[in-house]
Amino acid sequence: MAKHTVSCGTLIVNPRRELLLCHVTHTPKWDIPKGMRDPGETELEAAMRELREETGLLFEAAAFRELGPFAYRRDKRLHLFMVESGPGLDSLAHLHSSTSFPHHVTGVPTPEMDGYRWARRDEVGGLCWPRMGEVLLSIDW
């Protein structure tokens, strides 16, 4: 049996039932804040860290509702959580990515995420990669 990696992520949902999406730098696509667990981390700890690193957002652990594991790719599973943002997150101007990767040409550190938006359910399929869109649309948010 092939070993699957697990990516832990968070769906941030506002009072209008829109989903927070992060623009993936140097791609045409948007994604939720997510990433791999560090050694010794629980799924929740990884989801909270990835949310902080990719958006700058901090929520108490009690705000995270576990949605559980989802099939994603042959080699990867998603373990997802959901947080209700409340009314205080209308502006996304303060969000930022503190994690970076070396630019493929210059090697300059480049933020993983370079933009943020709220997306309605009917927009998600066109904004996200197909597999991610399928997972997100299978969840009642």
List the pLDDT tens digit at each of the 141 positions of the chain.
456 789 999 999 999 999 999 999 989 999 999 999 999 999 999 999 999 999 999 999 999 999 999 998 888 899 999 999 988 898 999 999 998 888 878 888 888 899 999 999 999 999 999 999 999 999 999
Residue-by-residue DSSP string for the chain: -PPPEEEEEEEEE-TTS-EEEEEETTSS-EE-SEEEPPTT--HHHHHHHHHHHHH-----GGGPEEEEEEEEETTEEEEEEEEE--GGGS--TT-----EEE-TTT--EEESEEEEEEE-HHHHHHHB-HHHHHHHHTS--
Q: Reply yes or no on domain 5-137 having CATH 3.90.79.10.
A: yes
Q: What was the pLDDT predicted at 84? A: 97
The reported pTM is 0.92
